[in-house]
Amino acid sequence: MKGQSSPCKPDGEERETSVGWSQRSNQRLLALTALALLFLPPGMAWGVEPLEFKPGFNLFSVRQEMQLGKESAEKVDKTYPLVTNPQVLRYINELGRRLASLAPNNNSEYAWTFKVINSPDINAFALPGGYVYLNRGVFEAAENEAQIAGVMAHESGHVVMRHGTHEASQALLAQAPLAILESMLGREGSLTAQLAEMGLGLGVDSVLLKNSRNAESQADEVGAYILYHAGYDPHALGQFFEIVQKKYPQRTIQFISDHPNPENRIKNIDSEIAILGPAKEWKTDSAEFEGAKKRLLSLPAPTSVSSSGPPPAPSSRLTRFEGNGFSVSYPDNWRVQLNEDAVALVPPGGIVNVAESGAAQAYGASISRFQPQNSGQGNWGLIAATQELVDTLRQANPNLRVIEQKAVNLKGRSALSTLFETESPLQGQKERDLLVTTRQRDYLFSLIFISPEPSFDAYKPTFLAMLQSLEIQ
Ligand SMILES: [Zn+2]
């Protein structure tokens, strides 16, 4: 299945938060502080902390934040293939904790656990409470320790500024009055379960990772601050962003989606550097970084790309994926892969390499939201919107042919089931897809089950069990 990308908008792309952070007043504060520093005795000027980092509105106590982070991290650990090499882990945890100890608003409760996901995609993310994940691809792209420290310092910035729970708080506030939320969050038991009740799925595709551009700028500022105080050139942070955007545009899709590029990112970082203090003799690289990078580069590639025959049969044990606005069960021998605008649930070997377009999904399921053209007016119909989606898919797969379409009922929701045939990314094979669409607020929610034609019937019971388990909020 390919070519689903352009029409779907990732959630929250245009969202900006306005609570708790005012760029302009901060700049004014910085200007005043810089002025005040002129009147300090020489040598003392940079000894004070001229920057003020103030986290935004938040419903969660630090204790709740820790619990939430821990529960989410457990899910992430189960979902992604983690690197277990002890030297690599020791290296990033030592470096990460050293950097975090210099962060403003650091809390002694934070876990500060750093893990590496065995994925060539360039991505990194941080969960509340100090659970930081870096993809192997970040190490491959980083040219020196200062750059990897830049990424880690930026992620630590998201943690200490409490961006994840800030975003979750904003999302909750849009749903219920403050007093009700406070009493609900005060209850005992799993916080993840409580939030799921309130319509906030907190899996790997969770609101905890949806940073606004403001949050990104803030994480950059904290990141530059940490780098400076750790003795690294704070320019390394901007350098890394520039390198990955220029050199690896296809491998950064998720990174860009989790870290929307703030306007004038490099310029903003540079202007902050000017007030951090005078240049020092910077630490750039270390033998430990080069050693860790070498070890990571020599690791076998993760299992998702394969040409070694069909995937093993789907496990009959199901596990739950909590997405943003939906949840679904899937076989526990499948993996979750987050793409720019879709969540793919994939059996081992279910993603194959295609010469002209990179990786494509040949088996499994893919969930996304499609924005119909006249969605702004709110008066679009399910059938027309589904047709529009099918037409969009057909642009990438001209031989797509609809076999059957019928109205179905998804737990009281009217939905449309469309069975179609197209070309499989597996050479010479036809593919059968079952597309299920329903309206979710202003979007068309779309779930596509994918299999080469000969194995479609074998996968059908799994697909139907998944469909029955689907919950849409
Ligand atoms: Zn970020």
- pLDDT band, very low/low/confident/very high, at 340 (cuts 50, 70, 90): low
Would you state the pLDDT for residue 6? 33
- DSSP E strands in 156-312: the ranges are none
Would you state the pLDDT for residue 419? 95
Would you state the pLDDT for residue 353? 66
Centroid of ligand 1 to alpha carbon of 426 (angstroms): 36
Would you state the pLDDT for residue 413? 92
Query: To the nearest whole percent, how much of the chain has pLDDT over 90?
Result: 42
Centroid of ligand 1 to alpha carbon of 213 (angstroms): 9
Centroid of ligand 1 to alpha carbon of 270 (angstroms): 17
- Please state, in angstroms and rounded to a whole number, the distance separating the CA atoms of residues 399 and 19: 49
Centroid of ligand 1 to alpha carbon of 158 (angstroms): 7
Closest listed residue to residue 224, CA positions, set 238, 212, 211: 238
- The tens digit of pLDDT for each residue in 235-247 reads 998 889 888 878 7
Would you state the pLDDT for residue 32? 42
Contacts 24+ apart (CB under 8 A), 183-187: 185/59, 185/60, 185/64
Q: Identify residue 434 by its one-letter amino acid code.
A: L
Centroid of ligand 1 to alpha carbon of 220 (angstroms): 7
Centroid of ligand 1 to alpha carbon of 223 (angstroms): 10
Contacts 24+ apart (CB under 8 A), 370-379: 370/7, 370/8, 370/437, 370/443, 370/444, 370/446, 371/7, 371/8, 371/9, 371/442, 371/443, 371/444, 372/444, 375/442, 375/443, 378/442
Centroid of ligand 1 to alpha carbon of 25 (angstroms): 22
Mean pLDDT along residues 163-175: 86
Centroid of ligand 1 to alpha carbon of 322 (angstroms): 22
Global pTM value:
0.59
Would you state the pLDDT for residue 24? 39
Residue with the bigger pLDDT between 275 and 329: it is 329
Centroid of ligand 1 to alpha carbon of 161 (angstroms): 11
Query: To the nearest whole percent, how much of the chain has pLDDT over 70?
Result: 79
Strands 113-117 and 131-135: parallel
Query: Three-state SS for 447?
Result: strand
- The tens digit of pLDDT for each residue in 286-315 reads 999 999 999 988 877 654 443 456 888 999
Lowest mean pLDDT among 107-111, 134-138, 325-329, 338-342: 338-342
Centroid of ligand 1 to alpha carbon of 124 (angstroms): 8
- pLDDT band, very low/low/confident/very high, at 76 (cuts 50, 70, 90): confident
- The tens digit of pLDDT for each residue in 405-435 reads 999 999 999 999 999 999 888 877 899 999 9
Centroid of ligand 1 to alpha carbon of 377 (angstroms): 33
- How many Cβ atoms from other residues are within 10 Å of residue 17's Cβ? 19
427 alpha carbon, distance to own chain's centre: 31
Mean pLDDT along residues 247-260: 67
Average predicted confidence (pLDDT) for the chain? 81
Centroid of ligand 1 to alpha carbon of 241 (angstroms): 11
Centroid of ligand 1 to alpha carbon of 296 (angstroms): 23
- pLDDT band, very low/low/confident/very high, at 206 (cuts 50, 70, 90): low
Contact 205, 123 (CB under 8 A): no
Centroid of ligand 1 to alpha carbon of 380 (angstroms): 35
Centroid of ligand 1 to alpha carbon of 47 (angstroms): 28
Mean pLDDT along residues 48-68: 82
Contact 319, 328 (CB under 8 A): no
Centroid of ligand 1 to alpha carbon of 268 (angstroms): 15
Centroid of ligand 1 to alpha carbon of 125 (angstroms): 7
Centroid of ligand 1 to alpha carbon of 308 (angstroms): 36
- The tens digit of pLDDT for each residue in 90-142 reads 999 999 999 999 999 999 999 999 999 988 878 899 999 999 999 998 998 99
Mean pLDDT along residues 34-62: 60
Closest listed residue to residue 143, CA positions, set 290, 253, 299, 295: 290
Q: Is the pLDDT of residue 254 over 70?
A: no
Centroid of ligand 1 to alpha carbon of 266 (angstroms): 14
Centroid of ligand 1 to alpha carbon of 121 (angstroms): 16
DSSP notation for 75-88: HHHHHSPBP--HHH
Mean pLDDT along residues 273-294: 91
- pLDDT band, very low/low/confident/very high, at 218 (cuts 50, 70, 90): very high
Centroid of ligand 1 to alpha carbon of 198 (angstroms): 26
Most distant CA atoms of the chain, gap in Å? 80
Mean pLDDT along residues 32-49: 41
Using only C-alpha atoms, the chain has a radius of gyration, in whole angstroms, of: 23
Centroid of ligand 1 to alpha carbon of 250 (angstroms): 18
Contact 283, 430 (CB under 8 A): no
Residue identified by tokens 């729970």 is: 165
- The tens digit of pLDDT for each residue in 384-393 reads 999 999 998 8
Q: Is the pLDDT of residue 10 over 60?
A: no
Q: Identify residue 272 by its one-letter amino acid code.
A: E
Would you state the pLDDT for residue 375? 66
Give all strands of the β-sheet with 430-440 in edge-to-edge order.
335-338, 342-346, 364-370, 443-452, 430-440, 413-423, 401-410
Would you state the pLDDT for residue 126? 94
Mean pLDDT along residues 137-153: 94
Q: Per the structure block, which two tokens stand in for 80?
A: 């992604």
Centroid of ligand 1 to alpha carbon of 195 (angstroms): 23
Centroid of ligand 1 to alpha carbon of 218 (angstroms): 9
- How many Cβ atoms from other residues are within 10 Å of residue 437's Cβ? 24
Centroid of ligand 1 to alpha carbon of 144 (angstroms): 20
- How many Cβ atoms from other residues are within 10 Å of residue 152's Cβ? 26
Mean pLDDT along residues 452-471: 94
Centroid of ligand 1 to alpha carbon of 170 (angstroms): 18
At 118, give phi and psi (nearest 5°).
Answer: -80, 75
Cβ neighbours for 90, distance < 8 A, ≥ 6 positions apart: none
Would you state the pLDDT for residue 273? 86
Residue with the bigger pLDDT between 356 and 103: it is 103
Would you state the pLDDT for residue 250? 65
- How many Cβ atoms from other residues are within 10 Å of residue 313's Cβ? 13
436: exposed, middle or buried (Cβ count in 10 Å: 0-12, 13-18, 19+): buried
Centroid of ligand 1 to alpha carbon of 259 (angstroms): 4
383 alpha carbon, distance to own chain's centre: 31
- pLDDT band, very low/low/confident/very high, at 450 (cuts 50, 70, 90): very high
Mean pLDDT along residues 135-162: 95
Centroid of ligand 1 to alpha carbon of 293 (angstroms): 22
Query: Three-state SS for 171?
Result: helix
Centroid of ligand 1 to alpha carbon of 262 (angstroms): 10
Contact 323, 343 (CB under 8 A): yes
Q: Is the pLDDT of residue 43 over 50?
A: no
Centroid of ligand 1 to alpha carbon of 78 (angstroms): 23
Q: How many residues does the chain have?
A: 473
